[in-house]
Structure 1
Amino acid sequence: MLGAAGFFTRRWRAEVPQRVLFWRDLVVVGTLINLLATGLALALVASGANIALAAGVHFLPLPYNLFLVAAVWRLPASAALRWVSLAWLALVTLV
């Protein structure tokens, strides 16, 4: 499978290595996406845009974040890695 469907399917079925899913997808790419969304939301607020629009932009990556954390939990990973993924989710959602 190629494309976005293949990306999500492979992660959901635990067909990618743990280090790739956790470190690359969740920590690096996920954090960058969240920083971009938060920066854009702050720029919208600073420019006088509607606060609801800014909040929507900030929370736009949330479904992707939830998917990544659920995919980590589906891996035969250590309990520590699972709890770190939840802490990451809380951090990027609230900040």
Structure 2
Amino acid sequence: MGFFTRRWCAEVPVRVLFWRDLVLVGTLINLLATGVALALAASDLDIALAAAVHFAPLPYNLFLVAAVWRLPASSVHRWAAVGWLAFVTLV
């Protein structure tokens, strides 16, 4: 099975999905997108392009948070994933 299918079907342990995929990889992807978006905005390009780049990881982020909620994980992991989503979306 593929990356997305395994996560959606709850076949990945919570420590891998939450800590590696969401916190580590997801945060790095969002930091990269935000950095590129800031560089685009600073170079006087269209602000809509910068916003599009900043929000480009949002579907991936929503998928990861939904996958965490589908796991038989603790409510701490679930609400931490929602908090992480709010943080990386706004920052």
TM normalised by structure 2 equals: 0.99
Alignment of 1:41-60 (within 5 A): 41-60=37-56
Distance across 1 between alignment mates of 2:16 and 2:45:
37
Count of matched residue positions in the alignment of Structure 1 and Structure 2: 91
The runs of at least 4 aligned residues of structure 1 exceeding 3 Å deviation read none
Give structure 2 stretches of 5+ with no counterpart: none
Match of 1:31 in 2: 27
Equivalents in 2 of 1:84, 1:58: separation in Å?
A: 21
> Aligned to 1:76, what secondary structure does the other structure show?
coil
Query: Identity of aligned pairs, percent?
Result: 80
Deviations 1:26-85, CA, capped at 9 Å, x for gaps: 000000000000000000011111000000000000000000000000000001110000
Q: 5+ unaligned residues in a row in structure 1: which ranges?
A: none
Task: Say yes or no: does 1:21 pair with 2:17.
Answer: yes
The residue type paired with residue 81 of structure 2 is S
Measured after TM superposition, the shift of residue 94 of structure 1 is 0.2
Task: Please name the residue that 2:68 is paired with.
Answer: 72
Cα RMSD over matched residues? 0.4
Which residue in 2 is equivalent to 1:12? Answer: 8
Q: TM-score, normalised by structure 1?
A: 0.95
